[in-house]
Structure 1
Amino acid sequence: MTVNSFEKGGDGGGPSACDGHFHSNKDHWVALPPATFDHNSNCFRKLKISARGKSTVATVIDECAKPCKDDIVDASESVWKALGVHRGISCDTFNNVTVVDLTGASISGNLTSAICALSNLTALTLQRKAFTGPSPIGLLHCKHLHKLDLSSTNFAGTLPTCISELSKLRILKLPNNSFSGSIPPAFRMVAKLEALFFHENSLSGEFPNFFGELKSLKNLTFDNNPLRPGVLPVGSIRVLRRGGLNQNSR
């Protein structure tokens, strides 16, 4: 089970697939992988979820964004709380730290590259933190990251041009920050990207056409940025949110 936001402006992408609306994270919602969601056939189904001797019931309201394994359920924060499951640190069978999720922890100040000393770290989530300073260049030393979630972390400045150093990155979430400037061409070099969330920033310039070159990219959001219209990617990419491109560009 992974945590997911179902609220507007959250890291979950667009409105829920079942009813086209956003929903409060204070209620029990889940998003199912595509194979189980089965083209909306399981919408509003009640699921019993159990963990650590506790159980709760949640309602299916969405399809989780790819990449999403068939045995994974995205759940709202209230589901986690009801089950008494705390996010934090996960290790592999050799006790190497592989996942760090500090959502909800009271952390602020500058973010350095020290966390990248965890050489087996593959997923880092730092949602809703009061960090200061420009874009977190130091995290580019975390070479093995598959997922980086910096949603609502108060970062500002331009996007790092050396993003291509994270060659294994599959999921990048940067919504609800103050990133500005253009989207650097270096993003075309992150060939394994499957999900990229840019919404609710201050990115400008022309919407880049190189996203169509990313053959693994399945989900893309960029609404509420003052981007000028460009060539939207076609094919297998699911453009979840693009309203800002039309509303804010002139």
Structure 2
Amino acid sequence: MCHNTTSPSGGGCQSSGTMHCHGKSFPKYRCSPPVTSSTRATLTNNDFSEGGDGGGPSECDDSYHKNSELIVALSTGWYASGSRCGDTIRITSTKTGRTVMAKVVDECDSLNGCDDEHDNQPPCRNDIVDASNAVWQALGLDIEVGEEDVTCSTA
């Protein structure tokens, strides 16, 4: 799942600049952390429905999705220019130990943000798995928390 398309020397993922919005600075990333059999990631919540906080339709199929679907958007580096579209990934909560399989349908843009297309949200960090309500529920997590530590891998 989580795939690093541009691996800088040393295997790390360095910021490719900053974006200023809402009076704060946010790093921008073209890459994501290297993949292992259980890559650490941050789970966030996304509303993939029309009018939801996901902004426009999903990048993979130019469609909106129900939040009852087991679906995710990946940070730019892991999304890999759409090469992960339709892939199933395994997500495991470090809090509950539960695992769920979810389909990649969108990008969580790590280079752009703070505009109408991105619902005025800043760029995603480079380790984000932005998941539907159904993923959160399957993992037994409280959506209101906002962020949870997970591990992920290809199915």
With normalisation by structure 2, the TM-score equals 0.56
Secondary structure, aligned partner of 1:62: strand
Q: Is the 8 A contact 2:72 2:132 kept in 1?
A: yes
Deviations 1:107-137 (A, max 9, x none): xxxxxxxxxxxxxxxx9xxxxxxxxxxxxxx
Secondary structure, aligned partner of 2:78: helix
Equivalent in the alignment of 1:35: 77
| Alignment match of 2:130 (pick from 66, 70, 74) | 74
Opposite residue 59 of structure 1, the aligned amino acid is: K
Quote the sequence identity (%). Answer: 44
Higher Rg of the two aligned structures: 1
CA shift at 1:42, angstroms? Answer: 0.5
Equivalent in the alignment of 2:104: 60
Equivalent in the alignment of 2:16: none
Equivalent in the alignment of 2:38: none
Contiguous gaps of at least 5 residues in structure 2: 1-42, 111-122, 148-155
Runs of 4 or more above 4 Å deviation:
none
Deviations 1:143-173 (A, max 9, x none): xxxxxxxxxxxxxxxxxxxxxxxxxxxxxxx
Query: d(CA) in 1 for partners of 2:144 and 2:54?
Result: 20
Equivalent in the alignment of 2:89: 47
CA shift at 1:65, angstroms? Answer: 3.2
Opposite residue 76 of structure 2, the aligned amino acid is: P
- In the alignment, does 2:51 pair up with 1:9? yes
After TM superposition, the structure 1 = structure 2 runs for residues 206-221 of structure 1, keeping only pairs within 5 Å, are: none
Q: Is the 8 A contact 2:61 2:105 kept in 1?
A: yes
Deviations 1:24-66 (A, max 9, x none): 1101010001111011100000001111211110000000134
Aligned residue pairs total 91
Question: Quick one: structure 1 residues 20 and 88, their matched pair in 2 at CA, closer, same or farther if it must change by over 3 Å?
Answer: closer
Secondary structure, aligned partner of 2:125: coil
Secondary structure, aligned partner of 1:74: strand
Compare relative contact order (CA 8 Å, sep 6+) and give the higher one, 1 or 2: 2
After TM superposition, the structure 1 = structure 2 runs for residues 107-126 of structure 1, keeping only pairs within 5 Å, are: none
Query: d(CA) in 1 for partners of 2:130 and 2:107?
Result: 9
Question: What is the alpha-carbon root mean square deviation over aligned residues?
Answer: 1.6
Query: d(CA) in 2 for partners of 1:29 and 1:88?
Result: 18
Secondary structure, aligned partner of 1:26: coil
After TM superposition, the structure 1 = structure 2 runs for residues 112-191 of structure 1, keeping only pairs within 5 Å, are: none
CA shift at 1:76, angstroms? Answer: 0.2
Query: d(CA) in 2 for partners of 1:87 and 1:61?
Result: 20
With normalisation by structure 1, the TM-score equals 0.35
Query: d(CA) in 1 for partners of 2:80 and 2:57?
Result: 18
Secondary structure, aligned partner of 1:11: coil
Secondary structure, aligned partner of 1:21: coil
